[in-house]
Amino acid sequence: MAELSKEKFQIVGKNLKAAQEVVRPSMTYWQDAWRRLKVNKIAMLTLSLLCIMIFMAIIGPMIRPFVYDEGNLFDANLKASSKYWFGTDDIGRDLWTRVWWGARLSLFIGVVVALANLTIGILYGGISGYLGGKVDDIMMRFVELLITVPQMLWIIMLMVVMGQGVATIMIAMTATGWAGTARIVRGQVLQLKEMEYVMAAKVLGSDMGRVVFKHLIPNTMGILIISVTFAIPAAIFTEAFLSFIGIGIPVPIPSLGSLSREGTNMLLVHPYQLMYPSIVISIIMLAFQIFGDGLRDALDPRLRQ
């Protein structure tokens, strides 16, 4: 019986050279993340959609011979045509120009606020997590105090005090928006500061600044980039909500929120005035959310194959 079973197998020998070859090409963490992101067709589709929306926000107002703050009362409330691609509002202003001006402003506010929150959160959370002890306790109690009160309430109070304006709304959203990022960075730094390479850097004489910004923060960039992709649509929604209730961007400067408010007033008579800004803001926010999900999967080292 043993002789019959041996006949079914064949000794093929060993090839040590082939066994020691590296089959997978060498690549960095970011190269591997990009490779996995490209495989995600939905994430790449939403990235392309975001690029189109940003491109249109930049050049959209330039390809029409109208300005966002001037209109013609004789052309008021016209539907889409070859002259007015999105129609006009109640005082004859071109909606195409105003919608893309609003998209440009909303994207600008979202990106600037998200980057400002990221910068402050990295500095605050990195220092708090690295120093630890009583300093960490005091700094985190301050963060918890900010988070206890809803962020929207903080923003509304600051807007009432400082007044309306683009700079004002960005300052108001940045004043408390960094707290969440600071908590994320602080948690990551608390884990990483006990790693061997951090201890080695300290032994070699690296000061706190070099350890934090050279060794700790770069190793948290994956989760921070993901947080930025979710922070941008959150900031856009906050600006749109404030403008919608009338305390955000002052007239006649268009934003997607103020355009939606103006369109709501004409909803039963001219629904297209609400439809176009609503579609644009929905596409932007949905694209950021879906792309953020894909980016999170791509940057997760546990999914690396």
Mind listing the pLDDT tens digit for each residue in 41-90?
A: 898 999 999 999 999 999 988 888 888 888 788 888 888 888 888 988 88
Local confidence band at 100 (pLDDT 50, 70, 90 cut-offs): very high
What residue segments make up the domains of the chain, in order of their start?
36-64+100-303
Query: How many angstroms separate the CA atoms of 198 and 214, rounded?
Result: 10
Nearest to 234 by CA among 174, 148, 302, 295: 174
Q: Which of 157-166, 171-180, 279-288, 296-305 has the lowest mean pLDDT?
A: 296-305
Mean pLDDT throughout 217-223?
75
**CA-CA distance, 75 to 60, in Å (whole number)?**
21
Superfamily of domain 36-64+100-303: MetI-like (1.10.3720.10)
Please spell the DSSP secondary structure of 125-182, one letter per residue. Answer: HHHHHHH-HHHHHHHHHHHHHHHHS-HHHHHHHHHHHH-SSHHHHHHHHHHHHHHHHH
Residue pLDDT, tens place only, 146-160 = 888 888 888 888 888
Question: What's the confidence (pLDDT) of residue 11?
Answer: 62
Among the residue ranges 146-150, 195-199, 264-268, the one predicted with the least confidence is 195-199
**pLDDT of res. 144:** 87
Q: Is the dihedral of CA 246, 247, 253, 258 positive or negative?
A: negative
